[in-house]
Amino acid sequence: MRDLSRRRLLTGSGAILGAGLVGGSLGGCDAPALSQLATPYDWSNGLTFAVQRWLLRHQPLVREFDRSRISTVFPTINTTDPDDPAYKRSKDLEFADWKLPVTGLIERPGAFSLADLRAMPARTQVTLHSCEQGWSAIGEWTGVPLAHLLAHVGLKPQARFIVIRSVDGWWDSYDLFDALHPQTILAYGMNGGGLPVKHGAPVRLRVERQLGYKSLKYIAAIEAAERVDGYGKGRGSMVAELGFPWYAGI
C-alpha cells in the first residue's frame, strides 16, 4: 500500500513537473522563471511556477469580494506621482492627450486613448491586493480586459509574452497565460471613481494572481514579443533585475 501510494505520488509529481514544462511552453522554456536555474532559489522559483501553472491550468478566477469589503485605506507605495515632464503635462490635461501604443508582434498595431479604452467592454472586480512588503488591501478596479485589447489588435501567432512599460521606468513582462486571464485588466477606475494619480492614473494593470509589484501603474506602452531575454538584462522585468522573482504567483 505504502509503496503504491509512494509510486503514485512520484508519478503524480512527474505529471506536475511535466505539466509545468508543457505549461511553460505556453510561456516557453524561455519563461524567465524556468530559464534561469543557477541557484537553489531559482530552482524553487521554477518549481513554484510549474506547480502553480498546473494547479491553475483551468484559469480559475481569484476570489472577488462584496463592495462592502473595500478597504477604507488602500496604501500606496513607490512611485505615487511620476516626476516626468510629459506625464505632468498630460495630467494637467486630465490625460485627454494620453495614448497607449500597442506594438510588436501585433496584426494591427495602434494607439488607444482613454476614451477608446472606456468604449471597450469593461470589467469591474473587487479583489485583494497583496504587496511583497507585507501589506494587503481590498479595492474595486474597473477597466478593459487585456485579452479584449489584444484580441482587438490581433496577436501574431509567434507572440508569447506581453511586455509593459511605465512612465516611471518600471517595466515587466507576462506570459499569455496570465496576460489573457479574464481578471487581467487595464484599470482606469478604482472604487467607483476615476483612477487616482497615486494609484497609477490614467491606466494601471491588475494582475490578480500575482503579487502587487506585477500590477504596473502609469502604463505607457504595451508590446507583444516572442521572447523576453532581449529586454534589459534578460530577466523579464525591472524588479527581476533587482532580485525579485519574475513570477510572483500567490
Ligand X SMILES: Nc1nc2c(c(=O)[nH]1)N[C@H]1C(S)=C(S)[C@@H](COP(=O)(O)O)O[C@H]1N2
Positions touching ligand X (CB under 6 A) are 74-79, 131, 166, 168, 170, 199-200, 212-213, 215-218
Between 138 and 155, name the residue whose CB sits nearer to ligand X.
138
Binding to Mo ion in span 42-71, by CB under 5 A? none
Give which of ligand X, Mo ion, none residue 127 binds (C-beta under 5 to 8 Å, depending on kind). Answer: none
Residues 213-242 that bind Mo ion (CB under 5 A): 213
Nearer of residues 76 and 103 to ligand X, judged by Cβ: 76
Question: Strand, helix or coil at 40?
Answer: helix
Q: What is the DSSP string of 59-73?
A: -PPPP---GGG--S-
Which does residue 148 touch among ligand X, Mo ion, none (CB within 5 to 8 A, set by kind)?
none
Shorter beta-carbon distance to ligand X: residue 50 or 231: 231
Binding region for Mo ion (CB under 5 A) out of 27-35, 107-115, 148-156, 210-218: 210-218
Cell reading at 116: 477608446
Of 24, 27, 212, 249, which lies in the binding site for Mo ion, with binding defined by CB under 5 A? 212
The span of 102-110, 119-127, 140-148, 208-216 binding Mo ion (CB under 5 A) equals 208-216
Cis peptide before 121 (omega within 30 of 0): no
Alpha helices in the chain (DSSP H): 2-27, 32-35, 40-55, 85-92, 114-118, 146-153, 176-179, 238-241
**At 223, which helix (H) or strand (E)?**
strand 219-225
